[in-house]
Amino acid sequence: MAARLERAGLAVDATLARFVEDEALPGTAVAVEAFWTALAGLAHRFAAPNRALLSRRETLQQKIDAWHLERRGWPEDGAAYRAFLAAIGYLEPGVPDFTVTVPALDAEIGALAGPQLVVPATNARFVLNAANARWGSLYDALYGTDAVGGAAPAAGPYDARRGAEVIARARALLDAAAPLAGASWAAVTGLRVEGGVLVALTAAGRTGLADRARFAGHATGRGGALARVYLVNHGLHIGLVIDRGHPVGTSDAAGIADVLLEAALSTIVDLEDSVACVDGADKALAYRNWLGLMTGTLAEEVTKGGRTFTRRLAADLPVVRPDGRRAMLRGRSLLMVRNVGLLMTTPAVLLADGTEMPEGLLDSLVSVACALHDLRRPGGPVNSPGGHVYVVKPKLHGPDEAAFADQTFTAVEAALGLARGTVKLGLMDEERRTSANLKACLHALRDRIAFVNTGFLDRTGDEIHTSIEAGPMVRKGEMRASAWIRAYEDRNVDIALACGMGGRAQIGKGMWAKPDRMGEMLAEKGAHPAAGASTAWVPSPTAAVLHATHYHLTDVAARQAAIAAGGPRGRLEDLLAPPVAPRRNLSPEEVRREVETNAQGILGYVVRWVDQGIGCSKVPDLDDVGLMEDRATCRISAQALANWLLHGVVGEGEVMEAMRRMAVVVDRQNAADPAYRPMAPGFDGLAFQAACDLVFLGRFQPSGYTEPVLHARRRQVKATAAGTAAPP
């Protein structure tokens, strides 16, 4: 049992208490006693309403289950179903047309369009990589992935042929993003800046940019020689590194050694789906990394290629503007923090009655308190020049929960001496009741809204769970072709634009889940800016660089204007249509493959989560293709199997046998990991039990979430390792 300290009537994990008092609060002007009093006040005011909102979720689910049970086997009646949902309060009354009133946000959130990273807060190295992913090498991203030649490069010396293709691809992007007058960038033999104008030399003579406004400035190096040229397109910068002494630059006619792209404009530092924080020590670790970002002091010792060095946050980049003024380009991604939702409580803080505190309330006060360091920093690079704190709030079900989030952050602001509205909120449109009532949700957050996004993963898990009694669902691979998906994606953009979010706040799309398939990503993910999304999630800094090319090729502001002019798309009737499988029999092979795919994905993720505390993993699938897995993907797979079990598509024995077969596969896939504990042949470890709980008890998990099972089993593992009694 972790040591605890009494603070304002709360029993606080000692590790967490020391972090708050010794690290987070000094320098914020917030007294220790005032902080704990504020936390106790949040619990006193909001714990009961939090529980009431969760109870309402369950009541609505029970009514929806009863509706489907009573009508199972009947022809679908969309109009009657919609009327029923309105009658029980699942569909809220509409709100009048409005425009969001959030004040001007930082450019990365309001004005610019570009990639977004999501990174687990518990891994300092990953956090630093993401924060520093504002700029990245296009040459490296193309050369080192399958984006060129359909395969990653083989080990060995530099491949000149591959390098030439990389350079040609980069020059083609320059031709599209910052075209020259009467020449291609491939013909350039030198660059000069004369009188604030970029001059390009070619064999045919001198030329310049077709649009001089796309020259953003330059930087000089030793002896005043031109070292960098900065271009700008759709608000995104491109940096040309000029170095004729570099191995690449020396063989380049123009002396261009690299092409740098402004890539991850923003990053979500995640306290939720990608971490495994089950106690006070875990929470302190995550908060400490967020604090280091807000103070600008986060550092991590890294060993790479036999060399050990300290990685720190990147500095801003000096530039001489075309008018001769000296300025700085932002060197870091703008950082947001994702708190947890309403469901989970945490043993990090116990209330006066001995119950656990709602984890979201703890997150809200601690994460904003850490951000005070950024708001009150006297100099140096700051995260939010506009003086905002960006918090992403996930897993909200409907406008009453959105309003609850607004109320809690109003209380946090008051407790920390901040003006109301300092905290800006990102709304995750990932639960069905939020999608169906999105306009009302945005209205509840109209003076705080920083972004709204679509997330296929959690949204699909909730889709299955909400309609679990309606019938057997389509296979996971067929889900993207369901009517509700198109309606969901279109309505999200349409409603956000109608509420005035275009050019004012982010409208986002979901994650690319295949981090090793960059060629495929380049071919497909351009659909996101084309759909009017000003940001979309990518799994790595390299992916951010490659996805940034899409925002040079698509003018998102123009696309948003065209979409808005075209009128609303996506019918509510389609959004609410349960993705029940058509009346056809799947072959035994199709059923087996689907069950094994889901079982293998669950096991591959859960075994690392429970045994090693890894909240986000690249898990090889049955074909050994690495897929990014987190609790959202696990939720889909678990609910898919729970649904098929409920409707007799498969039996418990078949699923259990599949789980055992797939445990052997996962053991093989992890054989090279010295920290890995095999599940076979005993199949009696806590990780395997957790995976089975998610499937066989999945029907009864609140909203189909995986957190309760995973947290309970992870705590058991930690207690066993510490030699203490397992928590209840």
- In this prediction, residue 723 has a pLDDT band, given cuts at 50, 70 and 90, of confident
Give the residue-averaged pLDDT of 527-551: 98
DSSP secondary structure of 8-24: TTEEEEHHHHHHIIIII
User: Tens digit of pLDDT for each residue in 45-100?
Assistant: 999 999 999 999 999 999 999 999 999 878 789 999 999 999 999 999 989 999 99
Percent of the chain with pLDDT over 70: 99
- In this prediction, residue 302 has a pLDDT band, given cuts at 50, 70 and 90, of confident
User: Tens digit of pLDDT for each residue in 226-263?
Assistant: 999 999 999 999 999 999 999 999 999 999 999 999 99
pLDDT value at residue 726: 55
Is 338 catalytic? The answer is: yes
Give the residue-averaged pLDDT of 211-215: 98
pLDDT surpasses 80 at 493: yes
Q: Pick from 198, 179, 197, 196: which is nearest to 187 by CA?
A: 179
User: Tens digit of pLDDT for each residue in 675-704?
Assistant: 999 999 999 999 999 999 999 999 999 999
Sequence-ordered list of residues with C-beta below 8 angstroms from that of 578, at least 6 positions apart, any chain = 68, 76, 463, 467, 470, 471, 473, 484
Domain 52-134+270-305+330-575 is found in CATH 3.20.20.360: yes
pLDDT surpasses 90 at 456: no
Residue extent(s) of CATH 2.170.170.11 domains in the chain = 136-262
- In this prediction, residue 225 has a pLDDT band, given cuts at 50, 70 and 90, of very high
Active-site position among 243, 630, 631, 714:
630
CB atoms within 10 A of CB 117: 28
pLDDT surpasses 80 at 313: yes
Active-site position among 171, 330, 338, 491:
338
Give the residue-averaged pLDDT of 113-122: 98
And the tokens for 273? 């789906």
Percent of the chain with pLDDT over 90: 94
| CATH, range 588-722 | 1.20.1220.12
pLDDT surpasses 60 at 544: yes
pLDDT value at residue 135: 98
Give the residue-averaged pLDDT of 459-463: 95
pLDDT value at residue 698: 97
Q: What topology is assigned to 136-262 in CATH?
A: Malate synthase G - maily-beta sub-domain (2.170.170)
Instruction: Provide the mean pLDDT of the chain.
Output: 96
Q: CA-based angle 406:407:413, to the nearest 5? A: 90
Between the two ends of the chain, the Cα-to-Cα distance in Å is: 12
pLDDT surpasses 60 at 728: no
User: Tens digit of pLDDT for each residue in 332-371?
Assistant: 999 999 999 999 999 999 999 999 999 999 999 999 999 9
Q: What is d(CA 375, CA 479) in angstroms, rounded to the nearest whole number?
A: 43
pLDDT value at residue 1: 65
Q: Pick from 356, 336, 349: which is nearest to 272 by CA?
A: 336
Q: What is d(CA 368, CA 691) in angstroms, rounded to the nearest whole number?
A: 35
Residue extent(s) of CATH 1.20.1220.12 domains in the chain = 588-722
CA torsion through residues 531, 535, 538, 543, sign: positive
pLDDT value at residue 194: 97
pLDDT value at residue 379: 80
pLDDT surpasses 80 at 647: yes
pLDDT value at residue 725: 62
DSSP secondary structure of 424-478: EEEEEE-SHHHHHTHHHHHHHTTTTEEEEEE-HHHHHHHHHHHTTTT-PBPPGGG
Q: What is d(CA 137, CA 142) in angstroms, rounded to the nearest whole number?
A: 9
Give the residue-averaged pLDDT of 720-724: 86
pLDDT surpasses 90 at 372: yes
Q: Pick from 376, 378, 406: which is nearest to 30 by CA?
A: 376
Q: What is d(CA 293, CA 309) in angstroms, rounded to the nearest whole number?
A: 19
pLDDT value at residue 542: 98
pLDDT value at residue 724: 73
> Are the C-beta atoms of residues 425 and 405 closer than 8 Å to each other?
yes
